Amino acid sequence: MNTELSQYGVVTLVSAGPGDPELLTIKAAKAIEHAEVIVFDNLVSKEIRTTFPTHAEHIYVGKKKGRHSRTQNEINQLMVQLATQGKNICRVKGGDAFVFGRGSEEMLFLAQNGIRVDVVPGITAASGCSTYSQIPLTHRGISQGCTFITAHADKELGIKWEALASLNQTLVIYMGLSKTDMICQKLLAAGMKAETPIAFIEKGCTQEHRTIIGKLTQLTELKVQHDIQSPALIVIGQVVAVSEQMQWLEQRTKHTLNSAQQESNPLLRLSA
């Protein structure tokens, strides 16, 4: 064994899930707890950041639209530098690092530089956030499949909109908030129905979780009306109606329970 390489630290690439710290896997929580250095992204929620141990060095390398604290190359070089100093690094990324998270790029770069990488998978935003919003990604008789796409690309988007519109599946769009006009126009032109249900899920699985529901032609209107902020997912498809049905059922159940309580309690009947 190369003695120099054996003295290098290890990088644990942790997918932290969509925001709720209770959605961290046991393996992810252990990796964070035992890290010497934690290198974390903007999409790692503030709730998860509170779980970072005080004994570890915390390095923020977040990237927002138009505002990057460091370039991707600088982040890669930072991790190599820390690992060659013998430090064990926990690289924490939101959602699942292998779903539009550049996790594979970082893994390959580290490996090419002789750094050992351990990978911890996590709940991707599409699954976690839609479930918290009571929107199933698939539902028998409604949607037999689901497609994830990103509206962000270094160059032109290579998306086959006609194929997406004809699949009759759930469509989940990451990083699409700034391109709602384009998304709507492309899908309508490709044949998707104007009345197709859509949902914005803002800051999913955090204390600020918010779900806004409408139809495809309202995509930009709803974004502006409700001042939807990043991070936000866009879910398109008939499964969105399941969430509306759940809300109706919950309201009906609440009303039924209140009525039953009033019938069984004369004081409640008088106060009502």
- Residues marked as catalytic: 41, 63
- Pairing label, strands 116-120, 10-15: parallel
Which whole-number Å values give the CA distances from 69 to 62, 72, 90, 128, in the listed order?
6, 10, 18, 27
Asked if residues 103 and 15 have their Cβ atoms less than 8 Å apart, the reply is yes
Q: Nearest Cα to 176, choosing from 102, 230, 99?
A: 230
